Amino acid sequence: MTSAELIFDLIAQNTTDLVCIHDLDNTIRFATPSSNTILGYSPEELSGKKLTDFLSNDFINEMDFNTLRRFFDHPGSRIRYQVKHREGRLLWLETTFTKVGEKGLDEFEILSSTRDITESVHLMDDLMAALAKEHELSKFKSNLYSIASHEFKTPLAVIQANIEMLKVKSDRGLLDMALDSMEEEIDKLNAMIADMLQLKKLTTGRTAINPIEIDVVKLIREVVETDLRKAYPKFKVNMKFNEEAETTIKGDLSLIRYVFSNLLGNACKFSDKKHIVDISVERGDETVSISIKDYGIGIPEEDMPFIFRSFYRARNVGNISGTGVGLSIVKEFVDLHHGNITIDSKEKKGTTFFIDLPVKM
Ligand code: ADP
């Protein structure tokens, strides 16, 4: 061997990249032994094949194969693609093509150099996922700030106004009125803060579930008697259920209570003139199904696809207060119980929420 041949042999035997020489048709005529590590095939097995023969099915399905092939035929291009290793695992490779034909090797057209970039592609994917999460989180924070500066300010302004009024005038009647109004605003503030805390727990994956036996009918009655009677005393709540039916489920009491409290509160809050809420509880084979129906402002069709997103509020809410957080929490809590929630709503006619909760979690 001449010393030039020796040097060539040394490089070819030891390169970690896969170097191939292709003929005019792009068929591999020579490959370095690194083909054993990169693709799991020996240089002899690679000879007569094309790099496109190793593409993974998923990758081919995602691209137009003819366009893709053109990149492989194009000297000067650098492409990233997914292949299937002989052992079945999927790899990402990066190949650069160089034209070599005019250098006197007429039957050889192209030299390719291929590197396994699987690890860096996965690292990139992880980085992108972390960035997307970070983006979500910063969107969440900015939504939170805008809500805090708007929705939280209103109750505080009402409380402030009442205090100012009491400083000037403080007869018994006014005092009672001011105290009631302040208490109402403090309740609203507390509810909003509780929602924000629940959402934060959910976004940081810290919502704990403590499953116990819950009698759904009893729990709804308790929510109606405590939460609704106080905030919406004028409302008539009709409850339909079969006394004989077993309506006990396994679930987390505080999460399930939150679901009913939010849905019933919304049913009243978004009711227009008709102060009626109809509730039905039915026992199915493996679920307890609850429906909560109101005759209020309804949800416009265009808003329906987004209604479970946090901070989303339909365009017809006008000046009815709220943060758009409650319903997204309700959906998460129902999902955590492997339940299901759907809505039937017509603008200006009313809304019905249907919730199915598995008897066993
Ligand atoms: P909010 O703090 O506004 O009450 P929610 O997250 O509880 O937020 O609900 C999100 C949005 O869904 C509401 O702003 C409203 O547009 C719509 N919505 C929820 N329940 C009802 C309902 N019963 N009737 C009409 N619209 C509703």
179-236 tens-digit pLDDT: 888 988 898 888 888 888 888 788 777 788 899 999 999 999 999 999 998 889 999 9
pLDDT in tens, 228-246: 988 899 999 999 998 888 9
Q: Please tell me the distance between residue 337's alpha carbon and the centre of ligand 1 in angstroms.
A: 22
> For ligand 1, which residues put their CB under 6 angstroms from it?
262, 266-267, 270, 294, 296-299, 307, 313-314, 317, 322-328, 351
Across 161-170, average pLDDT: 84
Q: What is the pLDDT of residue 253?
A: 95
- At 106, the pLDDT band (50, 70, 90 cuts) reads low
Does the structure show a pLDDT above 60 at 103? no
How many residues are listed for the chain in this entry?
A: 361
Going by CA atoms, what residue is nearest to atom 10 of ligand 1? 324
Per cent of the chain over pLDDT 70 is 98
Per cent of the chain over pLDDT 90 is 51
Q: 126-157 b/e with 16+ CB inside 10 Å = b? A: eeeeeeeeeeeeeeeeebbeebeeebbeebee
Predicted TM-score (pTM) of the model is 0.66
Q: What is the pLDDT of residue 333?
A: 95
Q: Please tell me the distance between residue 317's alpha carbon and the centre of ligand 1 in angstroms.
A: 8
- By most ligand atoms within 8 Å of CB, the mutation choice from 313, 319, 331, 352 for ligand 1 is 313
Q: What is the pLDDT of residue 155?
A: 87
- By most ligand atoms within 8 Å of CB, the mutation choice from 202, 235, 266, 313 for ligand 1 is 266
The CA distances from residue 58 to 64, 72, 208, in Å, are 12, 18, 38
Place of tokens 């040394």: 10
Q: What is the pLDDT of residue 206?
A: 79
Beta strands in the chain, from DSSP E residues, in sequence order: 18-23, 28-31, 78-84, 90-99, 108-116, 211-215, 236-241, 248-252, 276-283, 287-294, 340-346, 350-358
108-117, 131-140, 180-189, 317-326: least confident range: 131-140
Q: Please tell me the distance between residue 327's alpha carbon and the centre of ligand 1 in angstroms.
A: 7
CB 46 within 8 A of CB 31: yes
CB 323 within 8 A of CB 266: no
Q: Please tell me the distance between residue 307's alpha carbon and the centre of ligand 1 in angstroms.
A: 8
Distance CA 234, CA 341 (A): 27
Q: Please tell me the distance between residue 76's alpha carbon and the centre of ligand 1 in angstroms.
A: 57
Q: What is the pLDDT of residue 283?
A: 95
Across 4-19, average pLDDT: 83
- By most ligand atoms within 8 Å of CB, the mutation choice from 237, 278, 295, 299 for ligand 1 is 299
DSSP of 160-198? HHHHHHHHH---HHHHHHHHHHHHHHHHHHHHHHHHHHH
Q: Please tell me the distance between residue 115's alpha carbon and the centre of ligand 1 in angstroms.
A: 53
- When the pLDDT of each residue in the chain is averaged and rounded to a whole number, the result is 89
What is the position in ligand 1's atom list of the atom closest to the CA of 297?
A: 25
- At 100, the pLDDT band (50, 70, 90 cuts) reads confident
Which residues does residue 211 pair with via DSSP β-bridges, in sequence order?
Answer: 252
Q: Please tell me the distance between residue 313's alpha carbon and the centre of ligand 1 in angstroms.
A: 6
